[in-house]
Amino acid sequence: MEATAVVLERPRELVLSRLPLANAGEEDVVVDVEWSGISTGTERLLWSGSMPAFPGMGYPLVPGYETVGRIAMAGPATKRRVGERVFVPGARCFGDVRGLFGGAASRLVVPHSRVVPVSERLGEKGVLLALAATAHHAIADGKAPPQLIVGHGVLGRLIARITVALGAEPPTVWEREPARREGAQGYDVTDPAADSRRMYPVMCDVSGDASLLDSLIARLAPGGEVVLAGFYDAPIQFAFAPAFMREARLRIAAQWRDSDLEAVSRLAESGALSLDGLITHREPAGDAPRAYQTAFTDPNCLKMILDWRSAP
């Protein structure tokens, strides 16, 4: 089998290529992809070449970890059925081309244990489940939900929406970009310069700006916690004395777990968590180079998705 895939051959050089796929085993499913999302966090770093080194990093690579499609083939040892719509958090099925994270392709071969059923009602919005799970992980691993969220991109919106959906007090969200202050659902979004509140017990930063930590600690309550839920390509540093005076705690929210994905899937299926209004841009997969450029450079683009349904 072969698939058409987005390939980053090297930083800032993105092409569509036909790639051979690994043979499907007894516990694998073959997924015909309908939509894949473009991450403006980790994938931007892969695209720009500024992703910090970690095991498996290198070029050429297939990006993408936000994929929805239908099962075209299911091995005899799988628990899935042909025709079922599923979410796929990436794949490693492209031979010598690395899968980081391997979801941006017209067809994928993946272990059945990696896919999660997606309802017909969710459709393309199923690509948001990875970010929703990341948001849930940032909240669920803490002792208390955030009262302040820094950044009103898709991840910041999802953290705020999930906080409200779980019955906690609606958080305040800081956003410097005026155009991104729209779209709040049950919480307030403000310019940080207009917020006079101090003593926030829990803050969650999704800005990806490593220089903000001192300003956040200055607003932190004694014994409070700053959660770093973005991805940072610069060293994190802060003045020790203010953090010492507050006995500040710093927590890094890493990759979501299966339990987070299951939790947000239930919230989305029940209607408690709305995924509306987060996908703002769509392009056919054949226009992937333009789509990635738009996703990374247009401030009005919250979430760009590629439509693979007509791709070879």
What are the φ/ψ torsions at residue 189 (nearest 5 degrees)? -120, 130
User: Which of 45-49, 98-102, 129-133 is modeled with the greatest confidence?
Assistant: 129-133
Ramachandran class of 247: left when φ > 0, alpha when ψ lies in -120 to 50, beta otherwise: left
Q: What is the structure's pLDDT at 208?
A: 87
Q: How far is CA 60 from CA 1, 27, 183, in A?
A: 20, 27, 37
pLDDT at 42: 84
Strand spans (E) along 56-114: 61-62, 67-74, 85-88, 98-99, 107-111
At 74, list the tokens: 């299911």
d(CA 77, CA 26): 5
Given CATH 3.90.180.10, say whether it is the number of domain 2-122+275-307: yes
- What percent of the chain clears pLDDT 90, i.e. is strictly above it? 84
Model confidence band, residue 116 (pLDDT cutoffs 50, 70, 90): very high
Q: CA 7 to CA 9: how far, in whole Å? A: 6
Phi, psi angles (nearest 5°) of residue 41: -100, -85
- Contact between residue 132 and residue 162 where contact means Cβ atoms under 8 Å apart: yes
User: For the residues 147-155, what does the mean pLDDT come to?
Assistant: 96
Q: Per-residue pLDDT for 20 more than 90?
A: yes
**pLDDT at residue 53 is higher than 80:** no
* Token pair for 253: 């929210």
| Domain extents in the chain | 2-122+275-307, 130-252
The separation between the first and the last C-alpha atoms of the chain, rounded to the nearest angstrom, is: 12
What integer is the mean pLDDT of 73-97?
95
pLDDT band at 122; cut points 50, 70, 90: very high
Q: How many CA atoms are closer than 13 Å to the CA of 281, on its beta-carbon side?
A: 24
pLDDT of residue 56: 72
pLDDT of amino acid 8: 95
Residue 142 has pLDDT above 80, yes or no: no
Residue 311 pLDDT > 90, yes or no?
A: no
Nearest to 308 by CA among 110, 148, 108: 108
* DSSP 8-state secondary structure symbol assigned to residue 100: S
Which pTM value belongs to this model? Answer: 0.93
Give yes or no for residue 33 having a pLDDT over 90: yes
Residue 141 has a pLDDT of 78
Confidence at residue 104, expressed as pLDDT on a 0 to 100 scale: 97
Residue scoring higher pLDDT (56 or 302): 302
Beta carbons within 8 Å of 13's beta carbon, 6+ residues apart:
none
DSSP H or E segment with residue 160: helix 154-165
Instruction: Note the Cα 191 to chain centre separation in Å.
Output: 24
CATH of domain 130-252: 3.40.50.720
Q: What is the pLDDT of residues 154-209, one digit of tens each?
A: 999 999 999 999 999 999 999 999 989 999 999 999 999 999 999 999 999 999 89
CB 43 within 8 A of CB 63: yes
What value does the mean pLDDT of the chain take? 94
